[in-house]
Every structure is written in C-alpha cells, then in structure tokens.
Structure 1
C-alpha cells in the first residue's frame, strides 16, 4: 500500500528486486544494506553479555559508517544532480542524522558496554539509523527512480559500492559531510582506520606489543599514503 505522506511514491521496500532495477541498482544495494543493518541491530537485544553487545555495536557502527560515507559521496550528489529543482531539505536532514550517529558511535567507542548509559546511547543511534532508512526507501530513492533510468541507477549503485568498500570504518567527528571535502578526507582516514582495525584484530589489549602499536600504526599509514600518492602521480602523466 502506498504511503500518501510521500506524494504517491511507491516505497523501495514494497518493490521487487526486478522493479528496483536488478541487484546492482542503487535502490537494491541500499535496501539490502538497510536490511542487514536492521538484522544486526536486532541481534543486540539477543546478546547474552555486555562484551557481546559491544561487539555487535562495533559491527553496526562500521557498517553504518560505510553506508553513510557512500551516500554522502555518491548517492546524495546524484540526487542533487538529477533532481536539481527539488528542495534539498531531505538530504541535508539525513546528513545531520549521520553526524548524530557518528557522534554517538564515537562516544560508544570509548564507553564500557556494562555502564548505565551505554544502552540508552545505543538505542538512540539505532533509532536514528532506522529513521534514515525509512526516509531513503520511502522518499529519496523513489524520487531518484522517477528521475533516471535503470542503467543510471545501476551506474550509481556501482559507484556507491566502490565508495562503501573503501570508506573509513571508524567515527571521525570533524569530517565534512559533502564533496569534495569528505572524499579528500576519507582517503587518509580509510587507510588509518584499516591499520587500526588490523591492530585491534592482531594485538591483545593491554600487552606490551599493543602499547607499541601507535608508532607502528602511524608509520604504516604514512607509508601507504606515500605509495598511493606516487601511484597517482605516475597515472597523471600517462596519456
């Protein structure tokens, strides 16, 4: 049943994959990611210990941040391009919600999952994530679907997936929410985040090896960035 609040637009959630433009369409990619995020958030209630809840929140955070970064660098610019005559209040509102979630995740990253206020912060972040998913599936994505063809929806989807896979994985409170600032800031942050992720996975917290990790992390991130810059410089000179 169509929700009249959205001017007769048919929600992406009510459409088949074929109607959305196939599995590679931005509509299908967003819808799948929303569903997987929701499943992760639901698993929080079934968690048996504070440590398990903390792990689930970390997984939700990484996925939500990747999703938001891909929206801000690909989906929202596409929406503004193809619906240039529309009021852009919706994407601005969602970007504000992204910042709210980002700030909550930064707070949770430093918090004890067994503390009294941890659960309230988690549930607020989850509520905002779900609210944005409804705004996108019920309004933003159907509007984009009306404005462009299937091939363009698939091209946007492919670009969105590239950005999602290469995005930062941790909250960064001062990252710009719009291009080109978010794209330029995202490159070094994504490298740094992946080094930190590797350290978290490989080195036990509280060990001497772990305490030595910041220096190793900084050196590794700097080396990776230098290689990437040199590679771009060589590519720019080819013709």
Structure 2
C-alpha cells in the first residue's frame, strides 16, 4: 500500500476496489474507463497500418467524448456541491482540458492518417487526455472521496454511467461545458450523432451528414419538450 501524500489524499490507483467504495463507485467507474482509454492509445501506438490507426482514433474519440460529457453533467456538479470552496477552480481546469480535446478531435475527424502533421495532432490529443485522467485520479476524485460517503460515491457513479451511455459521440466545441446548457444541447446532439454514426457505417460520410441534420431537428424538439416539462414541475 502506498503512503498518503502530504495532503492526505491517496490516488485512486493506489486503492483497492473496496477502498474506492466498490465497483459501482464513481472512483472505480472512472478508473476503469481511464484504463480502457489508455489501452486504445497504446493500441494505436503499436499499430502500423494508417487505416487501422484512424479507426482506433475514432473509437477513442467516441469513448473520450462520452466520458467527458458525463463528467460535465454529473461528476463536476457533484464536486462543486461537496467542495464549495474548491470545486469551482478544480473543475474549471479540467473543463479547459475537455474544450481542448473537443477542438483537437474536430481537426482529427476529417484528417487523413497518412497526412503530414497527423501524428503530432494525435500526440497532443493523447497527452491532454492522459493529463486529464491523472488530475482526476490523483487529485479530484480523492478530494471528493474525502467528503462524500461510499453510498454517495456509488449514486454519483450510477448517474455518471447513465449519462455516459446516452451522451453525444462526436466533438462539439461550441457546446457549453456546464449544466443546464450542455444538458439541453446534449439531447439533440446525442440523437444526431447516433444517426450519423449509423448512416456513416451503412452509407458513408456524405449520407451521414444529411441524416444527422434531420435527426438534430427531431432531437431539438425533444429537448424543448423536456425543458418545458421541467419548468412546469417547478
């Protein structure tokens, strides 16, 4: 067992699953997802075929974006609630990382893996994702663990997982990084992205763009309906 740091925080990697609050805790869920992202990055670095590397980057992008969106809608508000004096500064830093990742992934989305500068762009993206994961596992999650009960950590983890599974799958740098703006934008974008994903798989990128626009209109109507319903409950 690794000794705690001077501030008494123990990185998530140095804790057993029981210490983290069990497999459903936000600490355990985040750690597993970070490990999956790192495995994709290592697989990319070991791959020599440009097309295969492009597919690995696309898979990584989808997973990283869903992971980050769930943090912004569930985990970061929990930080700000449980750590009112520190949460703002702690989450603002990682929200900045998320914005940079979105911007980098927009560039990678249409880039040719054989083109000059592609590898450098991938390196910058990977470095930002790894930096984000280290900040969360070494600092933010242990701080939350210190003030939240295991039951609360598991409740946050369950909500985070639901959001992760229903989040947008493509980069959207213009979307707000905080609720309620990101939540309202996320509904039509999630619908649009999944329609694009399916259309691209079946018909190719050009058809995906048209299908995505139609889905965004339908998703926007759904988001508006949800917002109106929420206001009526108040």
Same fold (TM over 0.5): yes
Alignment of 1:86-125 (within 5 A): 86=86, 88-125=88-125
Q: Distance in 1 between matches of 2:10 and 2:106?
A: 35
Cα distance per residue 1:6-42 (max 9 Å; x no partner): 6120011111111111111000000000000000000
Q: Give the structure 2 partner of residue 218 of structure 1.
A: 213
The 8 Å contact of residues 27 and 141 in structure 1, kept in 2 or not, is answered as: yes
Q: Distance in 2 between matches of 1:34 and 1:193?
A: 23
Residues 1:99 and 1:201: Cα distance change in structure 2 (over 3 Å): same
The 8 Å contact of residues 192 and 219 in structure 2, kept in 1 or not, is answered as: no
Q: Give the structure 1 partner of residue 148 of structure 2.
A: 148
Which of the pair has more CA radius of gyration? 1
1:71 aligns to 2:64 (yes or no): no
Q: Distance in 2 between matches of 1:134 and 1:95?
A: 14
Q: Distance in 2 between matches of 1:31 and 1:72?
A: 17
| CA RMSD across the alignment | 2.2
Cα distance per residue 1:70-128 (max 9 Å; x no partner): 11111010011011122632211111011111110000001111011000010111011
Cα distance per residue 1:35-65 (max 9 Å; x no partner): 0000000001111211111101111111110
Q: Distance in 1 between matches of 2:84 and 2:227?
A: 32
Tell me the SS of whatever aligns to 2:68: helix
Q: Give the structure 2 partner of residue 177 of structure 1.
A: 177
In structure 1, stretches of 5+ residues that fail to align are: 206-210
1:227 Cα deviation after fit:
6.0
Residues 1:42 and 1:15: Cα distance change in structure 2 (over 3 Å): same
The 8 Å contact of residues 189 and 216 in structure 2, kept in 1 or not, is answered as: no
Instruction: Name the TM-score, length of structure 1 as normaliser.
Output: 0.89
Q: Give the structure 2 partner of residue 83 of structure 1.
A: 83
1:201 Cα deviation after fit:
0.8
Instruction: Name the TM-score, length of structure 2 as normaliser.
Output: 0.91
Cα distance per residue 1:149-196 (max 9 Å; x no partner): 111001000110111011010001101011111111111111110010
Q: Give the structure 1 partner of residue 8 of structure 2.
A: 8
Residues 1:200 and 1:223: Cα distance change in structure 2 (over 3 Å): same
The 8 Å contact of residues 99 and 173 in structure 1, kept in 2 or not, is answered as: yes
Q: Distance in 1 between matches of 2:87 and 2:214?
A: 45
1:230 Cα deviation after fit:
6.0
Q: Give the structure 2 partner of residue 135 of structure 1.
A: 135
